[in-house]
Amino acid sequence: MRIVVTGGAGFLGSHLCDKLLHEGHEVICIDNLITGTVANIEHHDSNEKFRFINQDVTEYLYISGNIDYVFHFASPASPIDYLKYPIPTLKVGALGTHKTLGLAKDKKASFFLTSTSEVYGDPLVNPQPESYWGNVNPIGPRGVYDEAKRFAEALTMAYNRYHGVNTHIIRIFNTYGPRMRKNDGRAVPNFITQALNGEDLTIYGKGDQTRSFCYISDLIDGIYRLAMSDINTPVNIGNPSEISIKECAETIIRLTNSKSKLTFKDLPVDDPKVRRPDITLAKEKLGWNPAVMLEQGLHTTIDWFKSS
Ligand code: UDP
pLDDT band at 291 (very low <50, low <70, confident <90, very high): very high
Based on the residue annotation, tell me whether 145 is a catalytic residue of this protein. yes
pLDDT band at 62 (very low <50, low <70, confident <90, very high): very high
User: Is 286 within the bounds of a domain?
Assistant: no
Whether 48 and 159 map to the same domain: the answer is yes
Shortest-distance Cα residue to atom 5 of ligand 1: 187
Q: Which atom of ligand 1 is nearest to the CA of 194?
A: 8
pLDDT at 152: 98
Show the DSSP H helices in the chain as ranges.
11-22, 79-84, 86-107, 143-163, 187-196, 216-227, 245-255, 280-286, 294-307
- The DSSP secondary structure of 202-244, one letter per residue, reads EEETTS--EEE-EEHHHHHHHHHHHHTS---S-EEES---EEE
Ligand 1 in contact with 271 (CB < 6 A)?
yes
Burial 197-234 (b: 16+ CB within 10 A, else e): eeeebebbeebebbbbbbbbbbbbbbbbbbbeeebeeb
pLDDT in tens, 107-159: 999 999 999 999 999 999 999 999 999 999 999 999 999 999 999 999 999 99
Whether 66 and 163 map to the same domain: the answer is yes
Whether 207 and 255 map to the same domain: the answer is yes
Whether 160 and 233 map to the same domain: the answer is yes
Ligand 1 in contact with 186 (CB < 6 A)?
yes
Whether 147 and 261 map to the same domain: the answer is no
Give the range of the structural domain holding residue 182, as residue numbers without chain letter.
178-211+241-275+292-307
pLDDT at 134: 98
Whether 7 and 27 map to the same domain: the answer is yes
Whether 296 and 229 map to the same domain: the answer is no
User: Is 221 within the bounds of a domain?
Assistant: yes
Look at residue 115 and give its three-state secondary structure.
strand
pLDDT at 280: 98
Whether 86 and 68 map to the same domain: the answer is yes
Pick the catalytic residue from 69, 145, 159, 215: 145
Whether 147 and 266 map to the same domain: the answer is no
Whether 205 and 65 map to the same domain: the answer is no
pLDDT band at 3 (very low <50, low <70, confident <90, very high): very high
Whether 154 and 19 map to the same domain: the answer is yes
Domain tally for the chain? 2
Mean pLDDT of the chain: 97
pLDDT band at 225 (very low <50, low <70, confident <90, very high): very high
Ligand 1 in contact with 212 (CB < 6 A)?
no
Is 0.95 surpassed by the pTM of this model?
yes
Whether 226 and 267 map to the same domain: the answer is no
Question: Order of strands across the sheet with 50-54?
Answer: 50-54, 26-31, 2-6, 69-72, 110-116, 167-172, 235-237
pLDDT at 116: 98
pLDDT in tens, 168-207: 999 999 999 999 999 999 999 999 999 999 999 999 999 9
